[in-house]
């Protein structure tokens, strides 16, 4: 029997137990109606009068960063989601501060993927799409108790994917801006299909104590008007040359030119959210770092609004 060096054996064993990013499942429902603001091409909308100010405060020299991929720090990199049947068992969810959360029970499987992995100390989002009903369930800071028979979360929100309804004004969701998370994720399947036809989610380091439609909640501590409000929509400028990027990255960048991204949470600036998937090419994704904040502009989408309590556009 050949000898195996102890260090090599340990390395092999360690690699074998590391969690890997799975292939993300197909979403069995349309994610909001076609006339929803998330699904609206904003390439022709006017530039916001404070665009330069907002971009400067976010960081004009900072790079765009894909906050998703395969594995990072031994956990799937990105915000995962799972799809469950209409018959999925409902479980109670405990919210320490329940005032702005939609009460349970939620159809969360015991093994639902958690952002950052089961031992994560981060945001620990859990996203569940229920087939048949087309209801989206989202949790922030989610922890399974009693082997998943009960869950505890910081906040939770439910969304009818067939509806344009927004949350109550002033309410948070599983995201700081009171917006849904799933509609704003870059997914491998849509990129390989050749088009992203929705806005994506982005974080910035600081926001002002205000929000813009369709956001419903603010999370900033400053009244500084130079800081972006939650819900601000940014797009990649049309004059930015993306021809040198890979075909996959061109799909992402074209989506940002036509559908842009919503400021949805405080975090690292220009971090774009997506779904972990074993098929991503991490080295290729990080070529997106060549795009900087100066390549973006804020848009004024107030003219799209039909009703402040609805995501439907004119």
223 pLDDT above the threshold of 70 = yes
If pLDDT is split at 50, 70 and 90, which confidence band does 12 have? very low
Q: Is the dihedral of CA 57, 59, 64, 68 positive or negative?
A: negative
Residue 8 CA to residue 98 CA, distance in Å, equals 50
| Long-range pairs of 119-128 with CB within 8 A, sequence gap ≥ 24 | 119/75, 120/75, 125/79, 125/174, 125/181, 126/151, 126/153, 127/79, 127/80, 127/81, 127/82, 127/174, 127/181, 127/182, 128/81, 128/82, 128/83, 128/84
pLDDT (tens digit, 9 = 90+) per residue, 253-294? 999 999 999 999 999 999 999 999 999 999 999 999 999 999
Helix H or strand E segment including 90: none
pLDDT (tens digit, 9 = 90+) per residue, 81-92? 999 999 999 999
247 pLDDT above the threshold of 80 = yes
pTM for the full model?
0.92
Q: Where are the domains of the chain?
A: 22-304
pLDDT (tens digit, 9 = 90+) per residue, 91-134? 999 999 889 999 999 999 999 999 999 999 999 999 999 999 99
pLDDT (tens digit, 9 = 90+) per residue, 164-173? 999 999 999 9
If pLDDT is split at 50, 70 and 90, which confidence band does 2 have? very low
In the three-class reduction of DSSP (H, G, I as helix; E, B as strand; rest coil), residue 182 is classed as helix
């Amino acid at each position: 029997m050949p000898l195996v060096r102890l260090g090599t054996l340990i390395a092999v064993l360690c690699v074998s137990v590391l969690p890997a990013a799975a292939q993300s499942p197909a979403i069995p429902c349309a994610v909001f109606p076609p006339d929803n603001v998330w699904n609206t091409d904003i390439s022709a909308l006017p530039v916001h009068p404070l665009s330069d100010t907002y971009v400067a405060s976010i960081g004009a020299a900072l790079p765009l960063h894909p906050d998703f991929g395969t594995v990072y720090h031994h956990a799937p990199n990105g915000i995962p989601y799972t799809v469950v049947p209409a018959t999925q068992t409902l479980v109670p969810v405990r919210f320490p501060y329940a005032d702005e959360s939609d009460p349970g029970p939620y159809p969360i499987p015991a093994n639902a993927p958690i952002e950052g992995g089961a031992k994560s100390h981060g945001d620990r989002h859990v996203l569940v799409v229920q087939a048949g009903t087309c209801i989206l369930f989202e949790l922030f800071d989610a922890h399974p108790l009693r082997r998943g028979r009960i869950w505890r979360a910081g906040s939770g929100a439910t969304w009818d994917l067939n509806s344009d309804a927004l949350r109550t004004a002033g309410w948070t969701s599983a995201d700081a801006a009171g917006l849904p998370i799933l509609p704003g994720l870059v997914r491998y399947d849509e990129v390989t299909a050749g088009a992203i036809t929705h806005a994506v989610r982005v974080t910035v380091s600081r926001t002002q104590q205000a929000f813009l439609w369709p956001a419903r909640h603010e999370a900033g501590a400053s009244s500084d008007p130079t800081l972006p409000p939650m819900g601000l929509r940014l797009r990649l400028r049309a004059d930015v040359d993306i021809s040198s990027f890979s075909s996959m990255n061109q799909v992402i960048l074209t989506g940002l030119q036509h559908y842009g991204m919503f400021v949805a949470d405080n975090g690292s600036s220009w971090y774009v959210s997506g779904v972990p998937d074993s098929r991503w090419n991490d080295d290729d994704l990080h070529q997106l770092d060549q795009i900087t904040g100066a390549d973006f502009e804020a848009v004024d989408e107030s003219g799209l609004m039909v009703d402040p309590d609805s995501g439907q556009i004119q």
